[in-house]
Chains A and B, each alone.
Chain A
Amino acid sequence: MTKSLLLIDDDDDIREVAQLALEVGTDWRILTAASGSEGIELARDVCPDAILLDVMMPVLDGPATLEQLRGDDRTREIPVVFLTAKARPAERDRLAGLSVSGVLAKPFDPLELPEQLRITLGWASV
Chain B
Amino acid sequence: MSDDSLRAAVRAIWERSRDAIMQRVVALEDASRAATNGELAPEMRRDAQREAHKLAGAVGTFGFWEASALAKEAEAILEGDDTITPTNAMRLSNLTASIRQQLSDEPGREQDAPIAPESLETIVSVGHGKLLVIGTDVDFRERMAIEARSLGVEVLAARSAAEARTMLTGPIDAVILDLTLPDAGFTFLERLHAARPTIPVIVLSDNDEFQDRVEAARLGGSGFLQKPVRPSQLIDLLRDSLVATADDVATIVAVDDDAELLAMIQALLQPVGARVVTVTDPLRVLNVLVEHAPDLVMLDVDMPGLNGIELCRVLRNDPRWSALPVLFLTARSEPANVLRMFEAGADDFVAKPVLGPELVARVRNRLERTRMLRLAADVDSLTGVATRRRGIEVLERIFRLAQRQRQPISVAAIDLDHFKQVNDRFGHLVGDMVLRRVATILSACFRGEDIVARWGGEEFIVAMYSARCAFAAKRLTEALDKLRAEVFEASGATHSVTFSAGVAEFPTDGSDWTAVYRAADDALSHAKAQGRDRVVCVEREPTAPAESSVDVVLVDDDAVLVEVLERALQSSGYRTLSVRDGTSAMEVLTGASPRVRARVIILDGGLPGHDGFAVLRALTRDGITRRSRVVMITTAKPDPEVQHALDLVTFAHIEKPFTVDELTGVVRAAMDAPHTSSPA
* A85 CA / B116 CA spacing, docked (Å): 13
Identify which of A30-38, A41-49, A109-117 touches chain B: A109-117
Is B126 in contact with chain A by the CB < 8 A criterion? yes
Identify which of B54-62, B442-450, B625-633 touches chain A: B54-62
- Assess whether A111 is in contact with B114, with CB atoms less than 8 Å apart: yes
Contacts A85-B72, A107-B116 known; A13 to B13 CB distance under 8 Å?
A: yes
Q: Pick 28 A–B contacts, CB within 8 A, sort by A.
A: A13-B13, A13-B21, A14-B58, A17-B62, A18-B61, A20-B9, A20-B13, A24-B1, A24-B6, A24-B9, A56-B53, A85-B57, A87-B72, A90-B170, A92-B124, A102-B125, A102-B152, A103-B123, A105-B119, A107-B59, A107-B68, A108-B60, A109-B60, A109-B119, A111-B114, A112-B115, A116-B149, A120-B152
Is A75 in contact with chain B by the CB < 8 A criterion? no
Distance (whole angstroms) from the CB of B27 to the closest CB of chain A: 15
Residues 149-189 of B contacting A (Cβ, < 8 Å): 149-150, 152, 156, 170-171
Is A78 in contact with chain B by the CB < 8 A criterion? no
Is A104 in contact with chain B by the CB < 8 A criterion? yes
Q: For residue A106, which residues in chain B have a CB less than 8 angstroms away from its CB?
A: 56-58, 60-61
Residues of B within 8 A of A (CB): 1, 3, 6-7, 9-10, 13-14, 16-17, 20-21, 50, 53-54, 56-62, 65, 68, 72, 114-116, 118-119, 122-126, 149-150, 152, 156, 170-171
Residues 4-26 of A contacting B (Cβ, < 8 Å): 11-14, 16-18, 20-21, 24-25
Contacts A89-B170, A116-B123 known; A14 to B57 CB distance under 8 Å?
A: yes
Other than A20-B10, A102-B126, A110-B10, give 15 A-B pairs with Cβ distance below 8 A: A12-B17, A13-B13, A13-B17, A18-B61, A24-B1, A56-B53, A85-B53, A101-B125, A107-B58, A108-B116, A110-B7, A111-B3, A111-B114, A112-B119, A116-B123
Q: For residue A20, which residues in chain B have a CB less than 8 angstroms away from its CB?
A: 6, 9-10, 13
- Assess whether A100 is in contact with B126, with CB atoms less than 8 Å apart: yes
* A82 CA / B152 CA spacing, docked (Å): 15
Is A64 in contact with chain B by the CB < 8 A criterion? no
Which are the 7 A-B pairs with shortest beta-carbon distances? A107-B60, A85-B57, A105-B122, A106-B57, A13-B17, A107-B61, A103-B124
- Assess whether A103 is in contact with B61, with CB atoms less than 8 Å apart: no
* A56 CA / B68 CA spacing, docked (Å): 16
Chain B: CB-nearest residue to A102:
B125
Q: For residue A111, which residues in chain B have a CB less than 8 angstroms away from its CB?
A: 3, 6-7, 114
* A96 CA / B123 CA spacing, docked (Å): 11
Distance (whole angstroms) from the CB of B526 to the closest CB of chain A: 51
Q: For residue B116, which residues in chain A have a CB less than 8 angstroms away from its CB?
A: 107-109
- Assess whether B58 is in contact with A13, with CB atoms less than 8 Å apart: yes
Number of A-B contacts (CB under 8 A): 118
Residues of A within 8 A of B (CB): 11-14, 16-18, 20-21, 24-25, 56, 84-85, 87, 89-90, 92-93, 96, 100-112, 116, 119-120
Q: For residue A12, which residues in chain B have a CB less than 8 angstroms away from its CB?
A: 17
Q: For residue B65, which residues in chain A have a CB less than 8 angstroms away from its CB?
A: 107
Contacts A21-B6, A119-B149 known; A102 to B124 CB distance under 8 Å?
A: yes
Q: For residue A116, which residues in chain B have a CB less than 8 angstroms away from its CB?
A: 119, 123, 149
Chain B: CB-nearest residue to A82:
B124
Q: For residue B14, which residues in chain A have a CB less than 8 angstroms away from its CB?
A: 13
**A109 in complex: contacting residue of B21, B72, B115, B156, CB < 8 Å:** B115
- Assess whether B118 is in contact with A107, with CB atoms less than 8 Å apart: yes
Chain A: CB-nearest residue to B65:
A107
Q: For residue A85, which residues in chain B have a CB less than 8 angstroms away from its CB?
A: 53-54, 56-57, 72
Q: For residue A92, which residues in chain B have a CB less than 8 angstroms away from its CB?
A: 122, 124
Distance (whole angstroms) from the CB of B43 to the closest CB of chain A: 15
- Assess whether A11 is in contact with B123, with CB atoms less than 8 Å apart: no
Q: For residue A24, which residues in chain B have a CB less than 8 angstroms away from its CB?
A: 1, 6, 9
- Assess whether A96 is in contact with B126, with CB atoms less than 8 Å apart: yes
Chain A: CB-nearest residue to B50:
A56
Q: For residue B3, which residues in chain A have a CB less than 8 angstroms away from its CB?
A: 111
Distance (whole angstroms) from the CB of B408 to the closest CB of chain A: 32
Contacts A13-B20, A24-B6 known; A107 to B152 CB distance under 8 Å?
A: no
* A84 CA / B72 CA spacing, docked (Å): 12
- Assess whether A108 is in contact with B114, with CB atoms less than 8 Å apart: no
* A60 CA / B494 CA spacing, docked (Å): 81
* A90 CA / B10 CA spacing, docked (Å): 31
* A18 CA / B61 CA spacing, docked (Å): 9
* A119 CA / B50 CA spacing, docked (Å): 30
- Assess whether B125 is in contact with A120, with CB atoms less than 8 Å apart: yes
Q: For residue A103, which residues in chain B have a CB less than 8 angstroms away from its CB?
A: 123-124, 126
Chain A: CB-nearest residue to B271:
A97
Distance (whole angstroms) from the CB of B21 to the closest CB of chain A: 7
* A13 CA / B171 CA spacing, docked (Å): 35
